[in-house]
Amino acid sequence: MQIPSAFTPPPRLLLGPGPSNVAPSVLRAMARPLVGHLDPAFVNMMEEIKAMLRAVFLTKNEMTFPVSGTGSAGMEFCFVNLIEPGDEVVIGVNGVFGMRMCDVAERCGARVTKVESPWGQIITPQQIADALKKVPKPKLVAIVHAETSTGALTPVEEISKLAHAAGALFLLDTVTSLGGCPVRIDDWQVDAVYSGTQKCLSCPPGLAPVSLNPRALEVATRRKTKVQSWYLDVNLLSSYWGQERVYHHTAPVTMNYGLHEVLRQVLEEGLENRWRRHEQNHLALKRGLAELGLRIVSQDGHQLWQLNAIGVPPGVDEAAVRKQLLADYNIEIGAGLGPLKGKIWRIGLMGEASTKENVETVVNALRKILRK
Ligand SMILES: Cc1ncc(COP(=O)(O)O)c(C=O)c1O
């Protein structure tokens, strides 16, 4: 075969639903020489990652670490460890990722009760309360905090209380919320949480930060059946990420360099400052879009700061606009999924990409394209 030349990526501005742009300092960190994954220097760095992840999740949970894999691996990690065949699970479904949770839970043998809202709307505590009345012994209630497919942020504090009152664990997907808006794992009494590196943390895709509180960990360690996944079994992973440092799998060394650097930067910026930055740039985008006659279509009062679902005006070719943004302006934005296909654009302002300049750039580009 003819060997292709080395890959040179085009200089894209990543304003889609993820991945987001990565800071040069993070890319530099990832280009540092490898050490062994059991090297004392790496082990020391793992401890720092765990401590920084606790600070970012706002939790004291000992069992907090990055699973090797993307956000979906974090989702599977939580379900395979907490669910045994026949368990009753209640899941909020208001977009793609709630649906994916149901699929994962069913593969674990769970009996799933779906609590559905129209795409773009939140899941309400009343809906969960109603569902819990019909489920005799719920083991778990699961919610997607920030639904990336629709741009809606579901408030979860009340839902967490309802889950606990019914004797269930509360599981939260924070793949898109972590680092971009308040996520308070201990205050909200979230028992199990997973996230991803590629959105508001602005690290490449490849790691899934997770955290289990002692209650969830007890459920995982006292199972009647073996965890169906060897790779994601917390009982095995804990001896690698815990004090024993027993070989389980070879951790992606370079990805962990990147995560270490990103977490340092998040904490240096400060969580509150970072959340405020995301809010301000979302509001600036909203104002800019309004001048173009465009509006955000997810539920008023619950719109994500980091992912904006924008209604496509009648008569405009949704895909053609995205194509032109990419071809002429090097800007990536996202399309609608499922029932929202062809009806919305998704503009992400996540992590590194959430800046005033990027807001102006994308609004100006849209103005020129739509004028034509
Ligand atoms: C809310 C949510 N959950 C889970 C995932 C899955 O993450 P990944 O694509 O990194 O596997 C995503 C990815 O977009 C997401 O937005």
Q: What is the DSSP string of 153-222?
A: E---HHHHHHHHHTT-EEEEE-TTTTTTS---TTTTT-SEEE--SSSTT---S-EEEEEE-HHHHHHHHT
pTM for the model: 0.98
pLDDT digits (tens, 9 = 90+) for 294-321: 999 999 999 999 999 999 999 999 999 9
Cis check: omega of the bond before 66, within 30 degrees of 0: no
The verdict on the CB of residue 348 being under 6 Å from ligand 1 is no
Residue 70 Cα to ligand 1 midpoint, Å, equals 8
- For residue 150, the SS3 value is coil
Banded model confidence at residue 242, pLDDT cuts 50, 70, 90? confident
Mean pLDDT of the chain: 97
Residue 308 Cα to ligand 1 midpoint, Å, equals 16
- Testing ligand 1's pocket by substitution, the residue of 14, 68, 122, 148 carrying the most ligand atoms inside 8 A of its CB is 148
Read off the tokens for 303.
Answer: 């719109």
Q: What are phi and psi of 265, to 5 degrees?
A: -70, -40
- For residue 42, the SS3 value is helix
Side-chain-side CA neighbours of residue 26 (13 Å): 24
Residue 221: CB atoms within 10 A of its CB come to 12
pLDDT digits (tens, 9 = 90+) for 262-299: 999 999 999 999 999 999 999 999 999 999 999 999 99
Residue 176 Cα to ligand 1 midpoint, Å, equals 7
Residue 165 Cα to ligand 1 midpoint, Å, equals 29
CA distances from 180 to 95, 199, 210 (A): 19, 9, 17
Residue 257 Cα to ligand 1 midpoint, Å, equals 21
254 bridge partner residues = none
Pair 66, 53: CB distance under 8 Å? yes
Instruction: Report the pLDDT value the prediction gives residue 372, as an integer from 0 to 100.
Output: 83
pLDDT digits (tens, 9 = 90+) for 52-102: 999 999 999 999 999 999 999 999 999 999 999 999 999 999 999 999 999
**Which ranges of the chain would DSSP assign to H, the alpha helix?**
24-30, 40-57, 71-82, 96-107, 125-134, 157-165, 214-221, 234-241, 253-269, 271-291, 318-329, 356-371
pLDDT digits (tens, 9 = 90+) for 170-221: 999 999 999 999 999 999 999 999 999 999 999 999 999 999 999 999 999 9
Banded model confidence at residue 244, pLDDT cuts 50, 70, 90? confident
192/232 Cα distance (integer angstroms): 14
Instruction: Report the pLDDT value the prediction gives residue 202, as an integer from 0 to 100.
Output: 98
The verdict on the CB of residue 172 being under 6 Å from ligand 1 is no
Residue 71 Cα to ligand 1 midpoint, Å, equals 5
Single-letter code of the amino acid located at 123 = I
The verdict on the CB of residue 71 being under 6 Å from ligand 1 is yes
Read off the tokens for 278.
Answer: 């995301």
Pair 252, 206: CB distance under 8 Å? yes
Read off the tokens for 336.
Answer: 């609608």
Residue with tokens 């720092």: 48
Read off the tokens for 7.
Answer: 């890959």
Mean pLDDT score, 327-350: 97
The verdict on the CB of residue 72 being under 6 Å from ligand 1 is yes
Which protein residue's CA is at the shortest distance from atom 2 of ligand 1? 175
